[in-house]
Amino acid sequence: MKRKKDAALRYRLPSRSPKSRIFEIDFLRGFDILLMSALHFCYAASSVGVMGILFDVSSAHNGTIEAMNRFCFNVFFAIVGTTGIPLSADGQSVFILFCLEAFFAGLFVFLSGISCSFARNNLERGIQLALVAEVETHLLIILSVCIKNLSHGLSFAPTATSPYDHAPSISIIMGILQAIAFALIVFALFDHFFPKYWQTLLGACFFIAVSGFFLYLFYTPVTGPLAVFRADNRGSDGSWPRDWWRILLGSARYGDDYFPPLLMCSVMFLGAAFGKIIYRKRRSLLPSSFPTKWAKPILFIGRHTLLIYLVHQPFNYVFLTILYRLCGYAWVS
């Protein structure tokens, strides 16, 4: 009887708490957020970002600003574009770094899965993140409508013309926040009934198989600047496409930012299984003598990823707007 009791204690799942911090996880998460922020800055600072939306490019000439716009344009679309940026006049040679975007997002979700293996309030966190993502979605749509209808008279009449009609429609139906929230809720429900590491690993294999099936057989991306606003794809209320289920299955891409939820579930489950196996004792793999003071700024970012992610985009746009005005660029008219 005593032997069975000792065995039960030895193999019992460790208690989990979100308060403990592991250096390498916080560092990698903070570093990953820095890379994602740099990528988003490249879009905002490109010729189609703040400059292309709000300012008249011909109103001033600044060699440094123009070089920055070209450089950021090439970097951003080389990373997020599946065809890359042409490097020659014939357009044959291209610079493709699409794998970097997948690496940034995949590493972030994987690290989130490791963190989920330490916590017990994953369902609550998933619901909170889903609410934040929903607020972000509606704010972006409202901002897009406001920019497109901005004019000197602030007229929102259907036939009114605006110097900002060229501004892109912005809508994120299933971006990185929405996908992580979905995966987090699914993992929380799964982990409640199947908490062992091998069960989590089987769950990851299941989602890999299912998401791979739909991506391989049914992937038909919808083209256009903003597919969700097209009449043949949106619902009667204009918010969700009629075939919204394809968004969840990963068989179609909608909006300006899209991550397949089932694929993100597989990465989340892999991270959780990794955390349950490698970080079973919830301790850093680095020696206790490893210096950490040098990494405090990155650790701070890694411990406040949601706040940094939500704040960095408005900061980019405000900073660049002020910079362009100081350099003499006029508003588009």
> What is the domain range of residue 215?
121-278
pLDDT of 276-285, one tens digit each? Answer: 999 988 888 8
Question: Which pLDDT band, with edges at 50, 70 and 90, does 231 fall under?
Answer: very low
In a domain, 4, yes or no: no
Residue 8 lies in a domain: no
Higher per-residue pLDDT: 251 or 297: 297
**If you ran DSSP here, which 8-state letter would residue 117 be given?**
T
Compute the average pLDDT of residues 132-158: 66
Maximum average pLDDT range among 17-21, 61-65, 219-223: 61-65
Range with lowest mean pLDDT among 108-122, 220-234, 236-250, 265-279: 220-234
**Distance, CA of 59 to CA of 221 (rounded, Å):** 38
Helix, strand, coil shares of the chain, percent, nearest 5, are 60, 5, 35
- Final residue of a domain: which of 262, 278, 294? 278
Question: What's residue 116's pLDDT?
Answer: 92
Distance between first and last Cα of the chain: 84
pLDDT tens for each residue of 146-190: 766 654 344 444 444 444 444 445 677 788 899 999 999 999 999
Q: Are residues 145 and 262 in the same domain?
A: yes
Amino acid identity of residue 66, one-letter, is E
For residues 232 and 301, state if they share a domain.
no
Output the pLDDT for position 155: 42
pLDDT beyond 60 at 232: no
Predicted local distance difference test score (pLDDT) of residue 93: 46
Q: For the chain, how many residues are written?
A: 333
Single out the residue of 33, 17, 69 nearest to residue 323, CA to CA.
69
Q: Is residue 229 part of a domain?
A: yes
Instruction: Report the C-alpha gap between 181 and 281 in whole angstroms.
Output: 26
- 126: closest CA among 71, 190, 173, 63? 190
Give pLDDT, residue 275.
94
- Position 212 pLDDT exceeds 70: yes
Percent of the chain with pLDDT over 90: 38
Total tally of structural domains belonging to the chain:
2
Domain membership flag for residue 72? yes
231 in the same domain as 188: yes
Please check whether residues 202 and 150 belong to one and the same domain.
Answer: yes
Together in a domain, 86 and 222: no
In a domain, 213, yes or no: yes
